[in-house]
Amino acid sequence: MSAQLSVNMRKMPKQERARETAGDLLTATAQFLRRNHYSKLSTNKIAELAGVSIGTLYQYYPSKEALVVALVRQQFEADFRLVQSIIEESESLSLKEGVQNIVHAVLGMFSEQTQLRLVIYEQSRKLSFLQTKETFQQRIRALFLENFEKHSRGEYEKPSELSMYTVTTAVIGSLVAAASERPEYLVCSHFEAELVRLVLGYYRKI
């Protein structure tokens, strides 16, 4: 089976009950990966955890890779909506306060779902899923750029797409490294402050 075929859903659920079943399978996958390494993941275990037959699982997902890819898509979309809502709610705040809110929220996601977050970022690369990962990160960068001047209020120089790529990649890399090597940093206020300093320190004041 080709990599492309193995990561696509077999069919898109149309009826409410079918959508619930497909969603339950993704929920079970996320629950499993929060407690276990990816190497232990199997379609049989997910079907059992979701309370459905293996045949029902295969109606929607042809492999464990397909489950993970669908989960990655779902998680990236949820992450984007979260960051978008934080930016909207921070409209009256300074750029520094807005960055602090975003960094705090992202650290919370990584600290609460450390193992799952590692799987999401590791498997999005291994499963030839970089394009979707990049699309997500591009959407995040575009969101920041669209709102930068409003929150900066002329205090900071607007970044270029290249500089925004550099700083967001640095932050994400730091988060993934901490989750893998020093998970205690994810709940450390000093680490949070360093990430905020990284973002703000990258841009020159006008």
Which residue blocks in the chain are alpha helix, DSSP H?
3-6, 16-35, 43-50, 54-60, 64-89, 95-112, 114-126, 130-152, 161-181, 189-202
Interacting residues of 113 by C-beta distance below 8 A, sequence separation 6+:
34
Give the C-alpha separation, 111 to 46, whole Å: 24
Residue whose C-alpha is closest to residue 140's, from 81, 67, 72, 200: 81
The dihedrals phi and psi of 153, each to the nearest 5 degrees, come to 50, 35
Measure the CA angle with vertex 90, ends 86 and 96; round to 5°: 105
User: Can you give the pLDDT at residue 129?
Assistant: 61
pLDDT confidence of residue 127:
67
pLDDT per residue, tens digit, the chain (206 aa), is 344 445 555 555 557 787 899 999 999 999 999 988 888 999 999 999 999 999 999 999 999 989 998 998 899 899 999 999 999 888 888 888 999 999 999 999 999 989 899 988 888 777 666 566 778 888 999 999 888 888 888 888 888 889 889 999 999 999 999 999 999 999 999 999 999 999 988 877 76
Which residue from 74, 64, 84 is spatially nearest to 113, judged by alpha carbons?
A: 74
Contact yes or no for 57/47 (Cβ under 8 A): yes
State how far the Cα of 59 lies from the Cα of 12, in Å rounded to an integer. Answer: 10
- C-alpha 49: how far from its chain's center? 23
